Amino acid sequence: QVTLRESGPALVKPTQTLTLTCTFSGFSLSTSGMCVSWIRQPPGKALEWLALIDWDDDKYYSTSLKTRLTISKDTSKNQVVLTMTNMDPVDTATYYCARKGVVRDAFDIWGQGTMVTVSS
Amino acid sequence: DIQLTQSPSFLSASVGDRVTITCRASQGISSYLAWYQQKPGKAPKLLIYAASTLQSGVPSRFSGSGSGTEFTLTISSLQPEDFATYYCQQLNSYPPTFGQGTKVEIK
């Protein structure tokens, strides 16, 4: 069974750096074609794609946020980490990680999401 | 970035209705389009990928069509559990952008 779970702080202060961890099971990120992505959703708003890392350690970022984002993986721990610098109240959102598998060109399995509030 | 525009943004329908949601891409994306369903407080769920392939376990009343720049998601007979927000996503090129969503509510 494939599962993903996001973890990280529920509250961060403006200007701080957010670090989120996606811990997954049921697949290996060293399998050719496998990817893990981060997506966020501000309250009441649409989904926004943030970043993706693939099995070959290639990394892709949102055009508007790429200067603030870093994605990395620890294959031995089955984890993907996202850092976002210089947090602002507009970054308040639920942050999801999701798998993009080998067979389906889509995000087929999602974590439950973690809500992050940016406030002083 | 490729922009996706969904229409309508909001849809009011009754159980049993046939519902169609459109997703238009700002440039051609072949068939690299997925549809997701999201219910309040829950993560999105994959319904359709490659524009028209039904994800395993998704009821057959859901179908997708289109290629290039225009795509549709159709629910042939709306069921109570289908009231949700639906998003399209293009995976033709990075960044893999989402549409703004279509909320389907009970009439």
Q: What's the pLDDT tens digit per position in A58-111?
A: 999 999 999 999 999 999 999 999 999 999 999 999 999 999 988 888 999 999
User: How confident is the model over B83-99, as pLDDT tens digits?
Assistant: 999 999 999 999 999 99
Task: Tell me the pLDDT of chain B averaged across its residues.
Answer: 97
The pLDDT of residue A90 is 98
The pLDDT of residue B107 is 87
State the pLDDT confidence band at A25, using cuts at 50, 70 and 90: very high
Pairing of strands B70-75, B19-25: antiparallel
**Record: contact B44-A106, CB cut-off 8 A:** no
How close does chain B come to A75, measured CA to CA in Å? 23
Name every residue in B having a CB less than 8 A away from some CB of A.
1, 32, 34, 36, 38, 43-46, 49-50, 53, 55, 87, 89, 91, 94-101
How close does chain A come to B70, measured CA to CA in Å? 18
Spatial contact of A27 and A36, defined as CB atoms under 8 Å apart: no
Question: Given CB atoms, is A52 within the 8 Å cutoff of chain B?
Answer: yes
Structure tokens, A5: 């779970």
For residue A119, pLDDT over 90 is answered with yes
Structure tokens, A116: 């992050």
Per CB-CB distance under 8 Å, the chain B contacts of A104 are: 46, 49-50, 53, 55
Question: Given CB atoms, is A2 within the 8 Å cutoff of chain B?
Answer: no
Burial class (CB in 10 A: 0-12, 13-18, 19+), B17: middle
Helix (H), strand (E) at residue A24? strand A18-25
Supply the DSSP symbol for A104: S
**Record: contact A110-B89, CB cut-off 8 A:** no
Long-range CB contact pairs, A66-74, < 8 A, 24+:
A71/A38, A73/A29, A73/A36
Calculate the alpha carbon distances from A116 to A24, B44, B91 in Å: 20, 18, 27
Q: Which of B43, B89, B100 sits opposite A96 (nearest CB)?
A: B43
Q: Choose the mutation target among A49, A61, A109 for the interface with B, i.e. most B CBs under 10 Å.
A: A49
**Record: contact B89-A106, CB cut-off 8 A:** yes
User: How confident is the model over A34-52, as pLDDT tens digits?
Assistant: 999 999 999 999 999 999 9
Per CB-CB distance under 8 Å, the chain B contacts of A47 are: 36, 38, 44, 87, 89, 98, 101
Q: Is the preceding omega at residue B59 within 30 degrees of 0, hence cis?
A: no
Burial class (CB in 10 A: 0-12, 13-18, 19+), B48: buried
State the pLDDT confidence band at A118, using cuts at 50, 70 and 90: very high
Within 10 angstroms of residue B58's Cβ, the number of other Cβ atoms is 16
User: How confident is the model over B16-75, as pLDDT tens digits?
Assistant: 999 999 999 999 999 999 999 999 999 999 999 999 999 999 999 999 999 999 999 999
The pLDDT of residue B10 is 97
Pairing of strands B33-38, B45-49: antiparallel
For residue B12, pLDDT over 90 is answered with yes
Share above pLDDT 90 across residues of chain B, in percent, rounded to a whole number:
98
